[in-house]
């Protein structure tokens, strides 16, 4: 089966921004996403007190261009305000039209 | 006698659970509840408080209600203003941070509120049942006023959407549907659900306070960096607001219990609804400051010293 | 008087919780329960229903039981056939989709069933206790018959394994072990567990219906794409099946409450066991169709209008 | 009469739930509880047991307490030694594995303990309330002694830190704060939390045993590889320890119920605290061995045959 | 420490197929897997009503050949029937005999 | 936005070692981590009975050097004692000073 290279963008952020973040990555061009829950530690410390539980881990498989747009959007709107971290991993998929 | 009253309040299950969990955590015992339990219990508590309030509102007449309601609205406007002023000028915080704190002190701590009710019931002091209904109103107004204060310092256009996000957010929405369901269904038809929403309440609260004790212990480290003025204001602001609440309650002729409840509504600081709201609307504000002040200082203060004090105020005023 | 009966049923905590959550969700309030609560509550409800049924079966004699049992089995065969026929020929759906819907309408909604019991108890109409035992039987037969209907249209060889997966799947398995445990342990020795499995039931159901209200609101958008015929059949099929159920119950001499229960067993559509079963056995069928019909149309219809109607049928027939 | 006593014990809800879930799992029915429920229920059980014990200790006088306390401490030292000796020399296991098993048999199964209490209450045999307080003490001592046995065979320097990790770990810490909260708050003020920590106990235990039944079924496959000697010792060790416990209890003049409790404290094997402790402190030991022995063999043995036997011993000795 | 290149295959699917999917990836040659829970959105919409909660996220580290077999198997049996998405990421491991 | 190549290390292990493992990866130089929960199967079998639930899935984005140190540490202290598995994936991040 032929696969096509795309980018997997993984974002860890505060659960309080979940809805806002989903809207923002869609605006960047993401056609789908998956959200799980994690707890962790980074430079801003441990645990965030929130009704929805600790932190969200959102991942979205997108084209290189959309991935760049998401990283730019995160820099502008999230990195300096919310305990947020993101990384990008190369990913191969079949059915590239889906992403 | 006041010392006895402090002990009396201190020795309830939720308060001791909070303190024991706090101390155990400081000694590095792992007493954190399972991760999935925290959202379950807070959801449960919000719904249960809402149902209790809605049911009480259904039983109250508008003639009883309108005066306390107006007092609540006034307190909802005045208490965040007082908090803002003290934190901004005595505490020398930025507009954003002072507004964030105002949102917390203008809003209400549902847990402090509930511990008070437990204490009142244990000491057989009656209060007006519909007071729980006022909780939700105060919870919202206080936050809105505080966000309004910060309006100038934030990117203006986002303000309205932030506000609507806050009101539709989980904690206010759950409280809200609890009130509506309780009001519509009414006490009699709610009875089959009482074993859950009434019977489990005190136990769930005790579990919740174990978790809050753990979080408060983790926050204690931040107190040093917050500075002594914030600690002082974390005690002074609730006392001032609580006293105003007691005065307001007495002015409209509430019972002793009702005056104490009004004092706690005004004097307590939110740490469920407000942090979520502030995080969304004022992301530049420092959580290390407002969660520490509200959960690390004011909450334990109210739980141990504040509640007996508010009751004493109420007894003096009625 | 029928209007009063509708109001009576409507104003119970679970039904109002469903409607309030549905409306709140449409207005974009976030009242969704914590993610981990949904599987916990549905597991609890299935086990509790099973225990109740098993305990009742232990108390019933075979002499009482055999006639209603046969009626249940007949209904379990006839009701999915009726649903299939109507959806296939009046609704012009494909064999696969009509079979999927048949599985839902042939099976039973444990929640609708429970709301009926709550209403009967509130109105002090007695019913045969062993009816809960029949629920599990009907729940399974209806699904099996429907999957059998689709057999031709699917890859034949998988049919048996799909069936065994369905029967061993969580919802039927939990209901099943509940019945066995309840039957073996019996009412007396089960008493210490009553505060959980009996006491918490109504409250847990109310919580569950908040979540179902949210899901139903999200499904409402799909109704348009499902088309008016599906909406119409979503009301017609339960009415037809419910009427047959009432007739069957009356034919074997059940009490008024028992006849109403039989009507609901036949007239309600599953949305826990059946969707999972259909997803596994008939993956090509469209969930947008069957979840919308069963949870978005039939469930609210039964909850508000259906239940009082089935009770009225029962009263007319006994 | 002993057969009747076995049946009596067997037919309680928790025991039947365990057996039914075990059998259902062997027949590949999916009756596993939702993933998030397991930590919630075990947390709840530990806290509830702790509260019960602390409350009982608050009511007991030191004069009553000191003798049973000393017996508990002696049993906490002797029972892991016996387990170690038998598994090391009769079972021919390595020092590490024998120590791991000693930690399990030196510690206590809170669930077996609770099922015994349920049975005693059902048969109206009274016991000393403060025995629950001894549970936590025995739970810890047994593990510490066993880890000490393995000290030579492990990297020495880690021993102390492993020990402190174990004592601060979730299960002992939760049990511990439960005892402290229960002791400080006392029976009267704990009353509002009773619907949760007392009322829900039997039901929660039943749910927990469904999950344990599933896990035990999955472990049954490991029994073959564990070998017949381990199976035999999985029955012999609890009998020996249980008999010693009964002797000890009788020696200090406990009531019939109290002697039976002491027998179960000594004779049961832990599968919550001990596996976690052993996993941390003795990672080279084989879980396939110790979880299988403690949960797969000893637990069902105690639940079905052991408990009636310990009660019979107690009746013979008092 | 020497590492060896393998493939990490991540699959998001409906929780109802968990057992079936595990059997199928084992049949393709996977020697281990991990399953977590997520919720998300894609072309088939949001949220699936299910007793086990929203969706599963299965990941398995396998050889290139097994990865291809899994993607082929997904195309044949899952992509057109269940709300399923999958991607493949290069992964380095020590102890290659384990995978 | 410029991105910098780092390594994402993912570790699956028994939940009982969570605190120990976090301390150990920090000692190797990790500045942050995220922990989620999974269940799974590998060569040591299925499911571990534990008060904290099945298994933990820890991920940490680190420099190549730290990643190697973590893998070495896992080999020395975890692989032969706990049901543990780990893999390393290339990841691109902005704000490299954070990692
Ligand atoms: N581009 C994507 N990136 C990450 N997860 C996705 C993506 N698209 C879909 N998903 C996940 O896969 C599930 C099913 O997708 P779909 O089949 O497109 O509805 C969704 O609910 C998401 O959890
Ligand atoms: N090939 C694999 N891919 C993904 N996860 C795995 C793999 N092998 C093992 N695991 C996970 O690591 C845990 C321990 O594996 P093991 O030490 O092989 O028993 C398992 O329970 C799985 O959650
Ligand atoms: N290096 C990292 N690797 C993985 N997750 C991280 C890392 N740093 C931070 N995180 C996650 O991102 C959250 C916020 O990080 P921070 O903004 O640095 O406090 C933390 O709570 C972690 O869950
Ligand atoms: Na306030
Ligand atoms: Na039906
Ligand atoms: Na023991």
* Average pLDDT by stretches of 10, chain C with 318 residues: 71 90 94 89 92 90 91 95 96 93 93 89 89 82 86 66 81 91 92 95 93 86 82 96 97 96 95 82 85 90 94 95
A41 lines ligand 3 (CB under 6 A): yes
Q: Is A48 part of the contact surface with chain B (CB cutoff 8 Å)?
A: yes
- State the CB neighbour count (10 A cutoff) for residue B92: 11
Nearest to E34 among F38, F72, F90 (CB): F38
Rounded distance, CA C1 to CA F57, Å?
A: 60
The rounded radius of gyration (Å) of the Cα atoms in chain F is: 14
Nearest to A89 among F32, F91, F98 (CB): F91
- Residue A69: band (very low, low, confident or very high) from pLDDT cuts 50, 70, 90: very high
Could you tell me which residues come within 8 angstroms of residue A73 by beta carbon, excluding any fewer than 6 positions away? A24, A25, A27, A28
Q: How far is CA D146 from CA D100, D140, D141, in A?
A: 7, 10, 9
Rounded distance, CA D246 to CA D263, Å?
A: 5
Q: Is A52 part of the contact surface with chain C (CB cutoff 8 Å)?
A: yes
Nearest to B193 among C13, C20, C34 (CB): C13
Q: Which residue has the higher pLDDT, C62 or A13?
A: A13
Contact of C99 with C226, CB cutoff 8 Å: no
In eight-state DSSP terms, residue B296 is I
Name every chain D residue with its beta carbon within 8 A of the beta carbon of C176.
24, 29
Residue of D nearest to F54 (CA): D35
* B200-237 b/e (C-beta count within 10 Å ≥ 16 → b): bbbbbbbbbbbbbbbbbbbbeebbeebeeebbebbbbb
Residue of A nearest to C30 (CA): A19
Task: Looking at F1-99, list the stretches that DSSP marks H as alpha helix, in order from N- to C-terminal side.
Answer: 18-27, 64-77
**According to the model, what pLDDT value does residue B20 have?**
96
Q: Determine the distance in angstroms separating the CA of F17 from the nearest CA of chain D, rounded to an integer.
A: 7
- Is F89's CB within 8 Å of E91's CB? yes
Name every chain C residue with its beta carbon within 8 A of the beta carbon of E14.
279
Which residue has a Cα nearest atom 16 of ligand 1?
Answer: E42
Contact of C271 with C291, CB cutoff 8 Å: yes
In eight-state DSSP terms, residue C134 is H
Residue F46 has pLDDT above 80, yes or no: no
CA max distance for chain E? 46
F31 lines ligand 3 (CB under 6 A): yes
Separation of CA D103 from chain center: 11
Q: How far is the CA of D38 from the centre of ligand 2 (A)?
A: 21
Rounded distance, CA B51 to CA C41, Å?
A: 19
Could you tell me which residues come within 8 angstroms of residue D289 by beta carbon, excluding any fewer than 6 positions away? D93, D97, D100, D101, D226, D230
Contact of C222 with C292, CB cutoff 8 Å: yes
Contact of D280 with F17, CB cutoff 8 Å: yes
Name every chain A residue with its beta carbon within 8 A of the beta carbon of E87.
6, 8, 61, 91-93
Q: Is D184 part of the contact surface with chain B (CB cutoff 8 Å)?
A: yes
Q: Measuring CA to CA, which residue among B85, B94, B82, B90 is closest to residue B229?
A: B90
A58 forms bridges with which residues in the sheet?
A11, A35
Q: Measuring CA to CA, which residue among D138, B281, A1, A21 is closest to residue E74?
A: A1
- Is E49's CB within 8 Å of C165's CB? no
- Is E85's CB within 8 Å of A98's CB? yes
Contact of F7 with E1, CB cutoff 8 Å: no
Kindly identify the ligand whose nearest atom is closest to the C-alpha of D83: 6
Number of H helices, E strands in chain B: 17, 0
**According to the model, what pLDDT value does residue F54 have?**
80
- Is E55's CB within 8 Å of A33's CB? no
Q: Which atom of ligand 2 is nearest to the CA of F46?
A: 21
Q: Model confidence over F57-67: pLDDT tens digits?
A: 999 999 999 99
What torsion, rounded to 10 degrees, do the Cα atoms B189, B191, B195, B199 define? Answer: 120
Residue B215: HSE in the Cβ half-sphere, 13 Å Cα cutoff: 27
Q: How far is the CA of D122 from the centre of ligand 2 (A)?
A: 46
Name every chain B residue with its beta carbon within 8 A of the beta carbon of C17.
177, 181
In eight-state DSSP terms, residue A82 is S
CA max distance for chain A? 46
Q: Is E52 part of the contact surface with chain D (CB cutoff 8 Å)?
A: yes
Rounded distance, CA D219 to CA D199, Å?
A: 32
Q: What does the pLDDT average to over E24-46?
A: 91
3-state secondary structure of E57: strand
Rounded distance, CA D78 to CA A33, Å?
A: 58
Q: What does the pLDDT average to over D291-299?
A: 90
Q: Which of C42-46, C59-63, D253-257, F47-51 has the lowest mean pLDDT?
A: F47-51
Name every chain F residue with its beta carbon within 8 A of the beta carbon of D220.
none
Kindly identify the ligand whose nearest atom is closest to the C-alpha of B273: 4
CA angle at residue C233 from C231 to C239, to 5 degrees? 120
**According to the model, what pLDDT value does residue D233 have?**
96
**According to the model, what pLDDT value does residue E23 have?**
95
Residue B294: HSE in the Cβ half-sphere, 13 Å Cα cutoff: 33
Contact of C48 with B225, CB cutoff 8 Å: no
Nearest to F95 among A40, A72, A79 (CB): A79
Positions of chain B with pLDDT under 50? none
Q: Measuring CA to CA, which residue among A85, A95, A94, A27 is closest to residue A59?
A: A85
Q: What phi, psi does B253 have (nearest 5°)?
A: 75, 30
**CB–CB contacts below 8 A, C to E:** 42
Name every chain E residue with its beta carbon within 8 A of the beta carbon of D29.
none
Q: Measuring CA to CA, which residue among E49, E55, E62 is closest to residue E12?
A: E55
**According to the model, what pLDDT value does residue A53 have?**
63
Q: Determine the distance in angstroms separating the CA of B197 from the nearest CA of chain D, rounded to an integer.
A: 11
Q: How far is CA C233 from CA B71, B289, C148, C302, F11, in A?
A: 53, 58, 22, 13, 52
Q: How far is CA C10 from CA C1, C115, C209, in A?
A: 14, 10, 13
Q: What does the pLDDT average to over D114-129?
A: 89
Nearest to A38 among F6, F36, F90 (CB): F36
Q: What does the pLDDT average to over E49-70?
A: 86
Residues with CB under 6 A from ligand 2: E 31-34, 59-61, 99; F 12, 38, 40-44, 55, 83-85
CATH of domain A4-42+63-98: 3.30.70.120
Which positions 212-271 of D are in contact with B (Cβ < 8 Å)? Answer: none
Contact of B260 with B246, CB cutoff 8 Å: yes
- Name the helix (H) or strand (E) containing E67: helix E64-77
Kindly identify the ligand whose nearest atom is closest to the C-alpha of A25: 1
- Is A41's CB within 8 Å of F32's CB? yes
Residue of E nearest to C218 (CA): E46
- Is F94's CB within 8 Å of A86's CB? yes
Residue D88 has pLDDT above 70, yes or no: yes
Helices D256-267 & D131-149 angle (0-180, nearest 10): 30
Contact of B215 with B60, CB cutoff 8 Å: no
Separation of CA B134 from chain center: 12
Could you tell me which residues come within 8 angstroms of residue B136 by beta carbon, excluding any fewer than 6 positions away? B50, B53, B172, B175, B176, B179
Q: How far is CA B311 from CA B255, B316, C280, in A?
A: 11, 9, 61
Q: What phi, psi does E44 have (nearest 5°)?
A: -90, 10
**According to the model, what pLDDT value does residue E30 have?**
97
Q: Determine the distance in angstroms separating the CA of A32 from the nearest CA of chain C, rounded to an integer.
A: 18
Q: Determine the distance in angstroms separating the CA of A62 from the nearest CA of chain B, rounded to an integer.
A: 27
Which residue has a Cα nearest atom 16 of ligand 3?
Answer: A42
The best mutation among A41, A78, A84 to test binding of ligand 3, ranked by most ligand atoms within 8 Å of the C-beta, falls on: A41
Name every chain F residue with its beta carbon within 8 A of the beta carbon of A38.
34-36
- Is E36's CB within 8 Å of F37's CB? yes
Q: Measuring CA to CA, which residue among D250, D255, D264, D248 is closest to residue D309?
A: D264
* Domain positions in chain D: 1-17+34-317
Q: Determine the distance in angstroms separating the CA of F17 from the nearest CA of chain B, rounded to an integer.
A: 13
Q: Is CATH 1.20.1530.20 the right assignment for the domain spanning B1-17+34-317?
A: yes
Residue A13 has pLDDT above 60, yes or no: yes
Q: Measuring CA to CA, which residue among C198, C53, C49 is closest to residue C110?
A: C49
What torsion, rounded to 10 degrees, do the Cα atoms D162, D46, F14, C170 define? Answer: 170
Is the ipTM beyond the 0.95 threshold?
Answer: no
Kindly identify the ligand whose nearest atom is closest to the C-alpha of D76: 6
Which residue has a Cα nearest atom 17 of ligand 1?
Answer: E83
**According to the model, what pLDDT value does residue C155 have?**
60
Could you tell me which residues come within 8 angstroms of residue E60 by beta carbon, excluding any fewer than 6 positions away? E8, E9, E25, E30, E32, E33, E34, E70
Beta strands in chain C (DSSP E): none
Nearest to E51 among C276, C284, C288 (CB): C276
pTM: 0.92
DSSP sequence for chain D: -HHHHHHHHHTSHHHHHHHHHHHHHHTT---PPPTTHHHHHHHHHHHHHHHHHHHHHHHS-HHHHHHHHHHHHHHHHHHHHHHHHIIIIIS---HHHHHHHHHHHHS--HHHHHHHHHHHHHTT----TTHHHHHHHHHHHHHHHHHHHTGGGS-TTHHHHHHHHHHHSHHHHHHHHHHHHHHHHHHHHHGGGHHHHTTTHHHHHHHHHHHHHHHHHHHHHHHHHH-HHHHHHHHHHHHHHHHHHHHHHHHTT--HHHHHHHHHHHH---SSHHHHHHHHH-TTS-HHHHHIIIIIIIHHHIIIIIHHHHHHHHHHH-
Tally of residues, chain A: 99
**According to the model, what pLDDT value does residue C260 have?**
97
* Domain positions in chain E: 4-42+63-98
Contact of B196 with B47, CB cutoff 8 Å: no
Touching chains, B (3+ CB pairs < 8 A): A, C, D, F
**According to the model, what pLDDT value does residue B172 have?**
85
Q: Which of A26-30, C149-153, D38-42, D95-99 has the lowest mean pLDDT?
A: C149-153
């Amino acid at each position: 089966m032929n696969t096509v290279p795309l980018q997997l963008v993984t974002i860890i952020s505060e659960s309080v921004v979940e809805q806002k973040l989903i809207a923002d990555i869609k605006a960047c061009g993401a056609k789908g996403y998956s959200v799980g829950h994690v707890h962790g530690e980074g430079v801003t410390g441990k645990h965030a007190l929130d009704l929805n539980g600790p932190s969200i881990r959102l991942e979205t498989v997108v084209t290189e261009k959309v991935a760049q747009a998401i990283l730019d959007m995160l820099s502008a709107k999230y990195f300096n305000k919310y305990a947020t971290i993101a990384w990008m991993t190369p990913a191969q998929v079949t059915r590239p039209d889906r992403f | 006698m006041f010392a006895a009253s402090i002990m009396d309040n201190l020795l309830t299950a939720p308060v001791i659970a909070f303190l024991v969990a706090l101390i155990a955590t400081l000694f590095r015992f792992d007493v954190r509840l399972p991760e999935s339990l925290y959202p379950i219990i807070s959801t449960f508590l919000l719904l249960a408080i809402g149902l209790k309030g809605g049911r009480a509102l259904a039983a109250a007449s508008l003639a009883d209600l309108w005066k306390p309601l107006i007092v609540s609205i006034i307190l909802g406007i005045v208490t965040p203003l007082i908090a803002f002023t003290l934190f901004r000028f005595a505490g020398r915080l930025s507009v954003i941070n002072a507004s964030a704190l105002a949102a917390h002190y203008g809003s209400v701590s549902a847990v402090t509120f509930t511990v008070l009710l437990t204490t009142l019931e244990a000491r057989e002091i009656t209060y007006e049942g519909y007071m729980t209904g006022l909780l939700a109103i105060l919870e919202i107004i206080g936050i809105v006023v505080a966000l309004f204060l910060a309006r100038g310092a934030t990117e203006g256009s986002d303000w309205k959407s932030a506000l609507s996000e806050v009101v539709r957010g989980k904690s206010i929405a759950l409280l809200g549907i609890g009130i509506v369901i309780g009001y519509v269904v009414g006490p009699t038809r709610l009875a089959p659900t009482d074993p859950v929403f009434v019977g489990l309440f005190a136990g769930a609260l005790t579990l919740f306070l174990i978790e809050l004790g753990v979080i408060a212990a983790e926050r204690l480290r931040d107190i040093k960096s917050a500075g002594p003025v914030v600690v002082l204001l974390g005690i002074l602001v609730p006392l001032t607001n609580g006293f105003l609440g007691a005065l307001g309650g007495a002015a409209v002729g509430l019972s002793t219990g009702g005056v104490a409840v009004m004092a706690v509504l005004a004097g307590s600081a939110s740490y469920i609804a407000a942090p979520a709201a502030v995080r969304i609307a004022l992301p530049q504000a420092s959580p290390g400051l407002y969660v520490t002040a509200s959960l690390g200082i004011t909450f334990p203060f109210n739980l141990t010293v504040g509640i007996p004090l508010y009751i004493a105020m109420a007894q003096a005023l009625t």
